[in-house]
């Protein structure tokens, strides 16, 4: 059983199907510390296993930008470098003789305490660990840089962690957002895992996780700068930062999607097409790349290819259990519990044993008055759950269902 510390400090990454991928931190509404237990560890699969290969030059406004320009123009920042003030902070507040868990809790409390560092959330506060520490504010990504740096100075095994978020769809059923979330993972020698997170996800929103290399975090830093530049129509700056990001993490498919968006903005449609296919070469199910191909082929007037990718997107959507659970949630919102049950059953056929799907199926059966079946599904959800907080919540619901069952049995006697 792995212990997990969650602090409400994190960052999230979002992308719309027609737009590039960027880090877009959500504003934290409250800051609190909660302690819960994580029963299953996180898989570690870094992105940087592939080579960058050939990246086509950018042609815009009569200028040509090459890989060499990216090398000459952009420095690789040391986002985790500490200064003397930061080292003194760690020495003062972490508790050198404390256990690993104690040092982590002490450090976290010092970072967020109003009387000490009083770190505040600011969606626009980019920067390195040193910059964040000095300014006292951070967005989710920059906070991760600072906490990783401080935790390592305290002798802790701190790493960036990538959380994959379950897909979201519009009311029309099209997938519009791929949210990605990064927090800080601290592992102890005894095997405990603690997460520090500025804007923690609900456990039901997490579809998977992996640790990130430091280079991947720097790549995401450049990706942010690229997306800011692209939003200001600074296409060449965006391209240079994306090339730098890809040199660090060439197997991160979302970066290739963004590169394709940059080429599309410059009118280099064939280069954009190749970038999207490069993203798909790293992840054949990258629906963001697929959706961008639909848009690109629509712009190019290549209807047969557009139709092909529209069909591919639909087939991947139909094969996604979370799409069916979303349909079930939508039906439940309108009070159509019979349809909701059918959609959740389809979701469980695709992903049997998922705790959140089992729990949702149980709640739907509860609404339909099938208490015995509801109890069975919720019990299955408890056995499959990975977070202690989920288990506790499921148990409360199960006890409520069982009380109703007992009351109904008493009435029938």
Residue holding tokens 């208490």? 371
Residue 284 has pLDDT above 90, yes or no: no
Can you read off the two tokens belonging to residue 312?
């591919």
Q: Which is nearest to 38 in space by CA: 203, 153, 177?
A: 203
pTM of this structure: 0.77
Torsion of CA 78, 84, 86, 87, to 10 degrees: 110
Banded pLDDT at 178 (limits 50, 70, 90): low
> Span 201-222, mean pLDDT?
87
Task: Give percent above pLDDT 90 in the chain.
Answer: 62
CA–CA separation, 360 vs 379, rounded Å? 12
Can you read off the two tokens belonging to residue 345?
């059953």
Cα angle for residues 31, 35, 41 (degrees, 5° grid): 115
Torsion of CA 363, 167, 176, 316, to 10 degrees: -100
Assign a CATH topology to domain 2-222.
Answer: C8orf32 fold (3.10.620)
- How far CA 163 is from CA of 11, 93, 324, 364, in Å, comes to 10, 29, 21, 28
Tens-place pLDDT, residues 398-408 = 999 999 999 88
CA–CA separation, 128 vs 110, rounded Å? 19
CB–CB of 248/222 below 8 Å? yes
CA–CA separation, 124 vs 119, rounded Å? 14
Please count the other Cβ atoms lying within 10 Å of the Cβ belonging to residue 297.
20
Can you read off the two tokens belonging to residue 213?
């290399």
Structural domain boundaries in the chain: 2-222, 321-412
- How far CA 329 is from CA of 75, 91, 205, 287, 383, in Å, comes to 47, 50, 14, 22, 23
Assign a CATH topology to domain 321-412.
Answer: 1.25.40
CA–CA separation, 53 vs 65, rounded Å? 16
Tens-place pLDDT, residues 230-283 = 999 999 999 999 999 999 999 999 999 999 999 999 999 999 999 999 999 988
């Amino acid at each position: 059983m792995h212990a997990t510390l969650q602090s409400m400090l994190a960052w999230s990454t979002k992308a719309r199907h027609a737009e590039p991928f960027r880090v877009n931190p959500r504003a934290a509404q409250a800051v609190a510390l909660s302690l819960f237990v994580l029963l299953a560890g996180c898989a570690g699969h870094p992105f940087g296993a592939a080579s960058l290969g050939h990246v086509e030059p950018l042609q815009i406004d009569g200028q040509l930008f090459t890989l060499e320009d990216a090398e000459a123009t952009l420095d690789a920042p040391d986002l985790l470098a500490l200064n003397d003030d930061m080292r003194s902070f760690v020495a003062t507040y972490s508790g050198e003789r404390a256990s690993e868990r104690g040092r982590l809790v002490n450090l976290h409390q010092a970072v967020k305490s109003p009387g000490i560092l009083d770190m505040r959330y600011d969606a626009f506060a980019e920067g390195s660990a040193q910059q964040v520490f000095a300014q006292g504010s951070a967005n989710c990504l920059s906070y991760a840089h600072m906490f990783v740096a401080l935790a390592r100075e305290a002798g802790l095994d701190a790493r960036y962690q990538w959380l994959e978020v379950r897909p979201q769809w519009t009311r029309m059923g099209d997938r519009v957002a791929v949210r990605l979330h990064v927090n800080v993972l601290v592992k102890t020698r005894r095997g405990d895992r603690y997460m520090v997170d500025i804007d923690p996800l609900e456990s039901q929103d997490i579809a998977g996780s992996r640790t990130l290399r430091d280079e991947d975090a720097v790549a995401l830093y450049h990706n942010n700068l690229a997306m800011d530049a692209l939003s200001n129509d600074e296409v060449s700056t965006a391209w240079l930062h994306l090339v730098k990001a890809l040199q660090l993490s060439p197997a991160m498919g979302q970066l290739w999607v963004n590169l394709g968006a940059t080429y599309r903005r410059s009118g280099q449609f064939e280069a954009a097409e190749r970038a999207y296919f490069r993203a798909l070469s790293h992840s054949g199910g990258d629906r963001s790349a697929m959706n961008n191909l639909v848009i690109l082929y629509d712009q190019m007037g290549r209807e047969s290819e557009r139709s092909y990718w529209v069909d591919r997107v639909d087939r991947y959507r139909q094969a996604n259990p979370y799409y069916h659970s979303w349909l079930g949630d939508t039906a439940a919102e309108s009070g159509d519990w019979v349809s909701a049950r059918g959609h959740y059953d389809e979701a469980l056929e695709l992903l049997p044993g998922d705790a959140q799907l089992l729990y949702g199926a149980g709640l739907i059966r509860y609404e339909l008055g099938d208490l015995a079946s509801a109890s069975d599904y919720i019990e299955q959800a408890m056995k499959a759950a990975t977070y202690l907080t989920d288990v506790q919540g499921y148990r409360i619901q199960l006890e409520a269902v069982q009380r109703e069952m007992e009351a109904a049995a008493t009435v029938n006697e």
